[in-house]
Amino acid sequence: MLYNNLSGYFRNKYGRRLGKICIDGGFSCPNRDGTVGHGGCIYCGERGAGEHIDQGASIKEQVLSALKDADEDEMFVAYFQNFTNTYAPVEVLRERYDAALIDDRIKVLAIGTRPDCIDEEIARLIASYKNRVDVWVELGLQTANDNTADIINRGYHREVFERAMELLDKYSVPVVVHLIVGLPGEGLDEIKETVEYINRFNLFGIKIHSIYVMKNTRLAEMYKNGEYAPPSMEEYVNSAVYILTHVSPRVTIHRLTGDCPGDLLIAPTWNRNKSEVINSIVYKMQLEGLSQGCRH
């Protein structure tokens, strides 16, 4: 196997692939409401990575809609995706997570959030769901470089991520880390720095995202003004292969590229063809006899 993909993980554990129910939990973000900052990260749109999710429905309605045509033997991940899904009092979090776990076919609770919105009480709450379903938390690190973090308006530095990792590890909550290739000012040297950094932690998985310039973002303004240019597809493929070959072979790869709704995408145009990007990564690894972790 070239790399440990999520589908393989599901087949080994459940005997089949799992579908994903992407949920809008009705949360905001401290990097938007002024608690940490305003406007969010420079690449983040108005829906906070939830551009694919229908607005307006309750959590229960979203889950029921996704399940209505599903077979009785299908299985699913309930993924709280957009904005910061631990950004509320614990009582509110419990109510909203419970609202998603309304069917036995839901086998996984996945929670996307920020490291600065993880404290001991929240980590303990998330861990409490492990007796009902599999659980993991997804943290948007994106880069280990604090200078880049300031440029992209991430709103926290590495020590905040490290504290969150300590807490989640204390309660044995698996963590998936998000990485973005092509951030302003970053090249392969910064990718190497980030990979070396994340290898310090006991990670369950990683998501590798190709950056995209989306309408109505600060990054779109930078692109229009000539202050930013996204990487070529070849540069992205090379970076993704570097990450795959240098991360631990035990890590599960949850994603190899990002995708943006076509009506919101400005650049790069190659981002429109997700399968071509993935196939190019696989082809390069096959051609060069590489596999995940072979240079770890």
Is the separation of the CB atoms in 270 and 237 below 8 Å? no
Instruction: Please give the pLDDT value at position 49.
Output: 47
Sole residue written with tokens 């006899």: 289
CA distances from 17 to 77, 197, 221, 251, 281 (A): 10, 31, 40, 18, 22
pLDDT at 48: 42
For the chain, the structural domain boundaries read 6-287
pLDDT at 259: 84
CB-based contacts of 168, cutoff 8 Å, min separation 6 = 118, 123, 126, 137, 175
How many angstroms separate the CA atoms of 49 and 56, rounded?
Answer: 16
The torsion angles phi and psi of 107, rounded to 5 degrees, stand at -105, -20
Q: Would you state the pLDDT for residue 54?
A: 58
Output the pLDDT for position 262. Answer: 86
Dihedral angle, C-alpha 96, 257, 153, 245, nearest 10 °: 110
Cα 263 to chain centroid, rounded: 22
For residue 55, what pLDDT is reported?
Answer: 61
Q: What is the pLDDT, as a whole number, of residue 179?
A: 98
- DSSP letter assigned to residue 272: G
State the greatest distance between any 2 C-alpha atoms of the chain, in Å, as a whole number. 52
- Where residue 179 falls (left for φ over 0; alpha for ψ -120 to 50; beta otherwise) is beta
pLDDT at 261: 85
Of the CA atoms within 13 Å of residue 183, those in its CB half-sphere come to 28
Residue 60's identity, in one-letter code, is: K
Other beta carbons less than 10 A from residue 150's beta carbon: 11
Mean pLDDT per segment of 10 residues, for the chain of length 296 residues?
95 96 95 91 70 71 95 97 96 98 98 98 98 97 97 97 98 98 96 98 97 95 97 97 97 94 92 95 98 97
Give the DSSP H or E segment for 122.
helix 120-128
For the domain spanning 6-287, the CATH number is: 3.20.20.70
Say what the pTM is: 0.95
Instruction: Report residue 115 as tokens.
Output: 């490291």
